[in-house]
Amino acid sequence: MLEKKMEKAINEQINWELYSSYLYFSMASYFDSVNLKGFSSWMRIQAMEEQTHVKRFYDFVTARGGRVILSAIKAPPSEWKSALAVFEETLEHEQVVTGRINDLMDLSLKLKDHATSSFLTWFVDEQVEEEESADEVLQSLKLNENNPGGLFMIDKELGARSFVPPADITV
């Protein structure tokens, strides 16, 4: 059984993961509006990844006898000054998510909830990848800040990304 305190914390994280997906769809829309289709595609894929995180949390809560309670998702921003600004915000957002996952892990350890600790290990590892991925694009944008041609090369590269759901998630 999932302790109520842990269940509540995971429900809050589910809301945060839904917000993350909402944010990335908003960023995709921004990129579509400035004709950066590769950037938009990268963000749409990011949004879909966040939805798989929601499903993973949802399935875990129900498997442990808990109940998922959905709450309102706050509206994300819809305007940015540049692709660079979007990826600065993306990295900052992923760092916040990392902190939240770490807080969940700390709570599971405090509660001696080893099943949840084991489950959260995947997310701890995933956040390393999420931050690295966002930072990689951010660094490319910084290197090409004064090179408009570089922006279009990055756009083309980002457009090649494809969505591959984790093997244990069916969508």
Nearest to 12 by CA among 109, 101, 142, 124: 101
In a domain, 166, yes or no: no
In a domain, 61, yes or no: yes
What percentage of the chain exceeds 90 in pLDDT?
Answer: 91
pLDDT in tens, 75-88: 999 999 999 999 99
Which structural domain, as residue segments, surrounds residue 142? 4-159
In a domain, 164, yes or no: no
Q: Which two tokens stand for residue 95?
A: 């760092």
Whole-number pLDDT of residue 167: 75
User: What mean pLDDT comes out for the span 144-168?
Assistant: 89
In a domain, 167, yes or no: no
The span from the CA of 76 to the CA of 156, in Å, is: 26
The span from the CA of 77 to the CA of 64, in Å, is: 35
Model-level pTM? Answer: 0.94
Q: Where are the alpha helices (DSSP H) in the chain?
A: 4-33, 37-63, 83-110, 114-143, 148-159
Backbone dihedral region for residue 84 (phi beyond 0: left; psi -120 to 50: alpha; all else: beta): alpha
- Among 11-15, 91-95, 132-136, 163-167, which is the least confidently predicted range? 163-167
User: What mean pLDDT comes out for the span 45-71?
Assistant: 97
The span from the CA of 124 to the CA of 136, in Å, is: 19
For residue 111, the domain's CATH number is 1.20.1260.10
